[in-house]
Structures are given as structure tokens and as C-alpha cells.
Amino acid sequence: MPRSRDRARLGPVRARVVGMGEIVLIRHGETTWSASGQHTSVTDLDLTENGVSQAKALAPLLARWDFTEVWSSPRKRSLVTADLAGLEITAVVPDLAEWGYGDYEGRTSEEIREENPDWSLWTHGGKGPGGETPDEVAARLDRALAEAEALLDRGDVALVAHGHSTRVAAARWLGRPARDGREFTIDTASIAALGYEHGRHAIALWNLTPWAADPE
């Protein structure tokens, strides 16, 4: 478990609110579709070889937190990322699943705009059966965040999820609509932390990857 790692070798830890944990968002490692830009929700893809390496490299970064709970999306790419990063999953949470794209599953934004030039996921959402609106995604991320925040007096909570779902989570943590998640780009196998500043919700860390932390 990351909490047992030698923190002395990890360098200085960021300032934290005393007595209050953080919600740590972890995006899964690379898949073939995340690399190609294809929208991936219910399709249960494996990590690529690079994605496996990315997930393993998260472990020393995650050792900076003391996780009392680790929740994962039901998708294999999230579950495997958590395991490779040295995390012990305590709950599989359907609300953390990726945005439901419906008929747009497996298609790139460029392909979708060939038939619908004005389309934006952040405005129009998915299409057809299984396609979710921004408000529907926001509602389930709100539930997950509220449940996680209630546990922060005990320590940190990790949420292992996906690109669009973590971006919506960040927007909702700040009290902004789901569409504002478009302002938060996030890489595969990256870490973000939702915390507090003077008692108000704040983004404490965003889009930290092992390569950004250690370019060498």
C-alpha cells in the first residue's frame, strides 16, 4: 500500500489543510483508444504496454497521500491502473464511470463533427441509447464527491476514473456546471487533488504525471 512507502525519499509535501484530507483524482493509463482520441466509455479496453508503465510509475507519487478509501470506476482500465499503482480498491463505484457517449462510442471528435459540425460533448453530450447529457454526468459525480467528502476527516480518498469524468468532478467541486470541465485538460495516468483554501473548495493539484514530476 502507498501509505507504507518511505516518504522521506519523495521530497517536500505540499501544504495541506490540517485535519482534512483530499479527494485525489487518478485518470487511468493509456489505452489504444485514448491514444487515438476515440471516445471510450462502456468499451472495456486493456491498457497498452505504455499504459501499464504509466500506471506503475504513479505509485511513488501516490505515496504522498494517506488513503483511507480507494474507489474505482467499474471499467477494467481503471481497476488495473489502481492495482499497478499499488492501491488497494475498497469499493467499485458505478458513478465514477466515464461519460456515456452512446452512438458516439469509439468515434473521434473529428469524425463526429463531420456529420454534426456544431457538436460539443460539453454542450450536447452523448447521442442515442446510453448517451448522457452534461447534467446527468454532473448528478452522478456530485453523488460520488459528496460521499467522498464526508470521509475526509479520516484521511484522503482516491477516485480512479476517466478523462471526462474527472474533469466534470473538478468543475462540480468548484460549484461550476459540468460544461466547465472543458477548461481542465488531463493526461492519461495523471493525478489531481481536490482540497480546500480558507475553508472553500479549491483545486490543490492538477494533471501531475510521473514525467512532469521527474522529467529525467
Q: How far apart are CA 68 and CA 207, in angstroms?
A: 22
Residue 185: CB atoms within 10 Å: 11
Q: Are 98 and 44 in contact (CB under 8 A)?
A: no
d(C-alpha 167, C-alpha 31), whole Å: 18
Q: Which residues pair with residue 109 across a beta bridge? A: none
The gap from C-alpha 49 to its chain's centroid, in whole angstroms, comes to 20
Of 69, 98, 105, 132, the catalytic one is: 98
Dihedral sign, Cα of residue 78, residue 192, residue 136, residue 29: negative
Say whether 197 is catalytic.
no
Per the CB < 8 A criterion, the answer to whether 62 and 2 are in contact is yes
**Whole-angstrom distance, CA of residue 101 vs CA of residue 186:** 18
Whole-angstrom Cα distance, residue 158 to residue 151?
Answer: 11
- Please report which helix (H) or strand (E) contains residue 142, including its range: helix 134-149
First to last CA, the chain: 25
> Active site residue: 22, 28, 30, 164, which one?
28
SS3 category, 163: helix
Q: Is 28 a catalytic residue?
A: yes
Residues noted as catalytic: 28, 98
